[in-house]
């Protein structure tokens, strides 16, 4: 089950985690394209305001 972005933000905050612009970009991409692979989600996230980089400097 994919939660709407606002619900995910609430859950993250409830767990004591910060919700940053890059995290919101990734959450929105996952919500809008739930069956996409990592590369696709990263590309979609990078197209949104707030830069998103991949771990490992890829």
Question: What span, in angstroms and rounded, lies between the C-alpha atoms of 50 and 21?
Answer: 6
Other C-beta atoms within 10 Å of 55: how many? 5
Question: What span, in angstroms and rounded, lies between the C-alpha atoms of 34 and 20?
Answer: 20
Q: Does a structural domain hold residue 58? A: no
Helix axes 5-14, 21-32, angle to 10 degrees: 130
Q: Does a structural domain hold residue 57? A: no
Q: Is 14 left (phi over 0), alpha (psi -120 to 50) or beta?
A: alpha
Q: Does a structural domain hold residue 53? A: no
Q: Does a structural domain hold residue 52? A: no
pTM value is 0.65
pLDDT tens, position by position, 1-58: 566 767 778 877 988 989 888 887 887 888 889 999 999 999 998 887 665 665 655 4
Q: 40 lies in which domain range?
A: 5-46
Contact 34, 28 (CB under 8 A): no
Q: Does a structural domain hold residue 12? A: yes
Q: Look at the chain and report how many structural domains it folds into.
A: 1
């Amino acid at each position: 089950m994919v939660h709407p972005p606002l619900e995910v933000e609430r859950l993250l905050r409830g767990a004591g985690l910060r919700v940053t612009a890059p995290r919101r970009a990734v959450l929105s991409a996952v919500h809008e394209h739930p069956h996409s692979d990592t590369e696709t989600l990263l590309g979609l996230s990078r197209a949104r305001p707030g830069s998103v980089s991949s771990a490992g400097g890829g």
